Structure 1
Amino acid sequence: MKGYIAASSLPAKRRWKGHAVAVLALVFFSLLVPLAFLLGLHNRFPSGYLSDERSSSESVFENYAHVDAGPEQNHSEGGQSRVHGLIDRFKPPIPKDVPENFTKKPLTEFSNGGMPFTSQPKDAMSYSKPKHITSRGPTTEQVVAPKVSSSLNARNDRGNRKENHPKGAAGDEIEKPCQLEFGSYCIWSMEHKEVMKDSIVKRLKDQLFVARAYYPSVAKLQGQDNLSRELKQNIQEHERMLSEAISDADLPSFVGKKIQKMDHTIAKAKSCTVDCNNVDKKLRQILDLTEDEAHFHMKQSAFLYHLGVQTMPRSLHCLSMRLTVEYFKTSLQDIERLHAQKLNNPSFQHYVLFSRNILAASATINSAVMNAEKSGHMIFHLVTDGQNFYAMKHWFARNSYKEATVRVLNFENVKLINFYNLGRRQLSPSEEFRVSIHDIARSSPMQLRTEYISVFGHSHFILPELFKNLKKVIVLDDDVVVQRDLSSLWNLDLEGKVNGAVQFCGIRLGQLKMYMRGHSYNGDSCAWMSGLNIIDLERWRERNITGNYLGLLQKFQNGSEASWRASALPISLLAFQDLIYALDDAWVQSRLGHDYGVSADAIKNAAALHYNGNMKPWLELGIPKYKSYWKKFLTKEERFMDECNVNP
């Protein structure tokens, strides 16, 4: 029995010793790993007080009108020159054993895209939002997509976002790639760019930038514990001040002493013999994270800009709701009944608008009436949706426009929608598309220009049946302001064409061949613009434009709202090919919703102004110098405008 006990106790003792060794090993490594992180012995992450902790939910704005960037583009080298300046200013003494051919590694490079999207062929085209939310020669074009609601999307892996970007030779090369990614937000942000202020805050950040770069290297040196502790303390103090201060006025009174103290500490760190590669590597890591953060905030700003463009301002929403409530509280005379004999009389001048915006439609109608020689012959047919129908009815019953008659129609009550099997009962005003073009004829392939082209929405294609007794109508968009009498258009001979429109030869149909689904067309034909169009309804019926439209609609849309809206561009261009009568360019001056460079003379000489683009005049984001041409046609002293604080 004793022999059995002795024999069995020996393995037990050995097992106990094995557990003890394992526990000691775990204790040793648990102390070693934090020490390695503290001393910056790892290669993947920066050490010290700068971390690269970014949650997986940290997002990047998906450009709602993204264009395939085509040739590789590059950022400005301003950030690199600044970093090199800081390196030169605070550079440590180079050890004697560094080889003479030592050179700096290139800074981390970023792509200007970096956004998740399904890969598309070059010159990919996507389509744009309806406007109401808001050099000829060889070119290669890229047409962009519907400005549907953008969202913040999960951030891409950084390794997939790095590209080389050759430096642009001029400011335009820097601006245009920015437009590709952020759209007209870039133009707006540059126009409203503020001068750099708060130099003390900037200096604190620069000091913190350099101190963080030196800290890991100093912490590794033997006998420099005091310096390492001092550097760490200064970093913490700077971080604390910057966390509570945005401008120089927010800084504490003793900030000067803190700056001098940090300068002294950095000078001592420079006097130490440190590995230049470590400092350089650390600077690059910090720059990488800083640029990432700046790029992320740029995308957030662009998202908020586009959100402001696409959503109805609160004041306009208030105006629509107040007018709707007032419509059911009061009983005003029905203008349509008083002028019923005029509404379908082809001897009068009939104008058609499709709009959801009360203020915009009112300004367009008022501008046309104020500049007309005889307003008594003018009949305006305003087609809107059910949500704004009663508000529109009450507004135009309360306000008169000289002798002109305004008729409001509810598109959702039109029985023709079901008759033509359009599939969607929602109102579809003119659709607007952002187009970015590479001009081969220009000196640099990076030269781009961005245009906004608007075409008829789906609702326009029931015009002949909506107005069966009329022979001719003028179609206006609600972002148009009229400056001249339009009566001469009624006597214009369209030479057998259907649609009199201003042509836009910056885009030709041949450049859009990949989106025409094999349909035959004249590749040299110019695109055309909605905004101000004279329509021959008799020729429309003879040519069966509506029937052709319905056939094209079945081929270009798959039942989803996105494809339905996206099909507006190719369908409009194909349905009216060879049926466009080119109006003189003096009739319409466009670009007032996205171009800051339109001259005052061009505006003055135009018969109509078209605010195509994101920056509509009724938005706070509208271009200020063009707003006055629109605001002078607003209805004055309207009670509901004052109560809803409507002041565009």
Structure 2
Amino acid sequence: MNQRNIPATDDVSAPDDVIPIIICAAEDRLGGTIATINSIYSNTNADIIFYIITLRDSLVHISKWIENTKLKGIHYRVLEFNAAVLQGKVRPDSARPELLQPLNFVRYFIPFLIRDHEKVIYLDDDVIIQGDIQDLYNTVLKPGHAAAFSTDCDLTSTHEMVRSMGMQTTYMGHLDYRKPTVRDLGINPTTCSFNVGVFVANVTEWKRQRITKQLEKWLVANVEENLYSSALAEGVVTPPMLIVFHNQHSLLNPLWHIRHLGWSPDARYSEHFLSEAKLLHWNGRYKPWDYPTAHVEFWERWYLPDPTGHFRLVRPNN
């Protein structure tokens, strides 16, 4: 990963005082990245540094967007992701090819992106933050745990989660239990899964346990044995993390990951409930910068138009 930009100012706090956030910036999804950053920046007084990971075609675009909007005062670094690290490790899949984009695998390589921080937040680009990000960063990880996630089985009445046909909440929905390699893991197929689009990581533990190497091992195993595919659940990034972090992860406060807003354009949550949520996630096919989508009003308030005019929202009157 090559650093292609430095923070907007050189006055970056010491690692103990700053909250590092990793977020990706794909060219066709840059509006999402900007909305996420703006929602964080607007709702906290904490000192944040954004590590924005992108490919070469977006290095200039994302920097111009930031420098020509209210975000020009944020601390950030734009890093180029070297997709060559995935060579031979990702099986081609025609079911949902967009889920095989290189930036989807950035979360596997946290220690190579964050060298000076003990703890980091990883966020997908289809989330917005309505709470103070400091609260999420303060998540306590149990000893020996390298990350904290949100469990998919925490669908209580408190959350009013939207259930819909095909929504996967167990390991059976992500892994092919017909394969001996999967069965040999000894993981009950009805075990609750967790979402990997929002998590807090302990970088020291990640390195100590060689998490990246373990994840890469399962990518290669899938290439050789087709253990999972994007036809199952939401893609090929999640299954290796479910395997590696099985019974080895802490839990996030449920209100810090209200998700499935992108599962269906007809999915509806209580407006009051969404207003109380700390983090909203449009995981699924229906993104808030596209059309149709659900609860787009909660996302649009944080979107900043592209000063270059290249990125445009897809709306019915366009």
TM-score normalized by the length of structure 2: 0.75
Question: Structure 1 residue 361: deviation in Å?
Answer: 0.4
1:542 aligns with 2:189: no
Match of 1:571 among 234, 240, 246: 240
Give the alignment's Cα RMSD to 1 decimal.
3.3
Which residue of 2 is the match for residue 27 of structure 1?
Answer: none
Contact kept, 8 Å, 2:258 with 2:277, in 1: the verdict is: yes
Contact kept, 8 Å, 1:346 with 1:469, in 2: the verdict is: no
1:615 aligns with 2:262: no
Q: Which runs of 5+ in 1 are unaligned?
A: 1-333, 427-431, 434-455
Q: In structure 2, do the counterparts of structure 1 residues 457 and 424 end up closer, same or farther at CA, with 3 Å as the change threshold?
A: farther
Question: Structure 1 residue 460: deviation in Å?
Answer: 1.5
Report which stretch shifted further, 378-387 or 505-514: 505-514
Alpha-carbon distance in structure 1 between the residues aligned to 2:72 and 2:147: 29
TM-score normalized by the length of structure 1: 0.39
Contact kept, 8 Å, 2:7 with 2:76, in 1: the verdict is: no
Contact kept, 8 Å, 2:291 with 2:314, in 1: the verdict is: no
Which residue of 2 is the match for residue 472 of structure 1?
Answer: 119
Letter in 2 for 1:603: L
Q: In structure 2, do the counterparts of structure 1 residues 469 and 639 end up closer, same or farther at CA, with 3 Å as the change threshold?
A: closer
Q: In structure 2, do the counterparts of structure 1 residues 542 and 605 end up closer, same or farther at CA, with 3 Å as the change threshold?
A: same
Letter in 2 for 1:389: L
Which residue of 2 is the match for residue 361 of structure 1?
Answer: 33
Aligned pairs for 1:404-423 within 5 A: 404-412=74-82, 421-423=85-87
Question: Structure 1 residue 583: deviation in Å?
Answer: 1.5
Letter in 2 for 1:601: H
Q: In structure 2, do the counterparts of structure 1 residues 559 and 630 end up closer, same or farther at CA, with 3 Å as the change threshold?
A: same
1:596 aligns with 2:260: no
Which residue of 2 is the match for residue 401 of structure 1?
Answer: 71
1:628 aligns with 2:297: yes
Question: Structure 1 residue 646: deviation in Å?
Answer: 4.7
1:528 aligns with 2:200: no
Identity of aligned residues (%): 21
- The structure whose Rg is larger is 1
Which residue of 1 is the match for residue 220 of structure 2?
Answer: 554
Which residue of 2 is the match for residue 509 of structure 1?
Answer: 171
Contact kept, 8 Å, 1:351 with 1:378, in 2: the verdict is: yes
Q: In structure 2, do the counterparts of structure 1 residues 543 and 628 end up closer, same or farther at CA, with 3 Å as the change threshold?
A: same
Question: Structure 1 residue 571: deviation in Å?
Answer: 1.3
Question: Structure 1 residue 557: deviation in Å?
Answer: 0.9
Which residue of 2 is the match for residue 580 of structure 1?
Answer: 249
Q: In structure 2, do the counterparts of structure 1 residues 519 and 352 end up closer, same or farther at CA, with 3 Å as the change threshold?
A: farther
Which residue of 2 is the match for residue 490 of structure 1?
Answer: 137
Q: Give the aligned length.
A: 275
Question: Structure 1 residue 481: deviation in Å?
Answer: 0.8
1:582-612, CA deviations, whole angstroms, 9 ceiling, x for partnerless residues?
2222212212112523111221111011111
Higher normalized helix content (fraction of residues): 1
Contact kept, 8 Å, 2:289 with 2:313, in 1: the verdict is: no
Which residue of 1 is the match for residue 158 of structure 2?
Answer: none
Question: Structure 1 residue 398: deviation in Å?
Answer: 2.0
Question: Structure 1 residue 381: deviation in Å?
Answer: 0.8
Letter in 2 for 1:484: G
1:620-642, CA deviations, whole angstroms, 9 ceiling, x for partnerless residues?
2223xx11111111225x6434x
1:407-455, CA deviations, whole angstroms, 9 ceiling, x for partnerless residues?
211113xxxx66xx531699xxxxx99xxxxxxxxxxxxxxxxxxxxxx
Which residue of 1 is the match for residue 61 of structure 2?
Answer: 391
Letter in 1 for 2:271: A
Letter in 1 for 2:208: E
Contact kept, 8 Å, 2:170 with 2:191, in 1: the verdict is: yes
Letter in 2 for 1:547: K
Question: Structure 1 residue 644: deviation in Å?
Answer: 6.8
Q: Which runs of 5+ in 2 are unaligned?
A: 91-95, 98-102, 154-167
Q: In structure 2, do the counterparts of structure 1 residues 339 and 645 end up closer, same or farther at CA, with 3 Å as the change threshold?
A: closer
Question: Structure 1 residue 365: deviation in Å?
Answer: 0.3
Contact kept, 8 Å, 1:353 with 1:382, in 2: the verdict is: yes
Alpha-carbon distance in structure 1 between the residues aligned to 2:261 and 2:133: 20
SS in 2 for 1:401: helix
Question: Structure 1 residue 378: deviation in Å?
Answer: 0.5
1:640 aligns with 2:288: no
Aligned pairs for 1:121-136 within 5 A: none
SS in 2 for 1:526: coil
Question: Structure 1 residue 400: deviation in Å?
Answer: 3.5
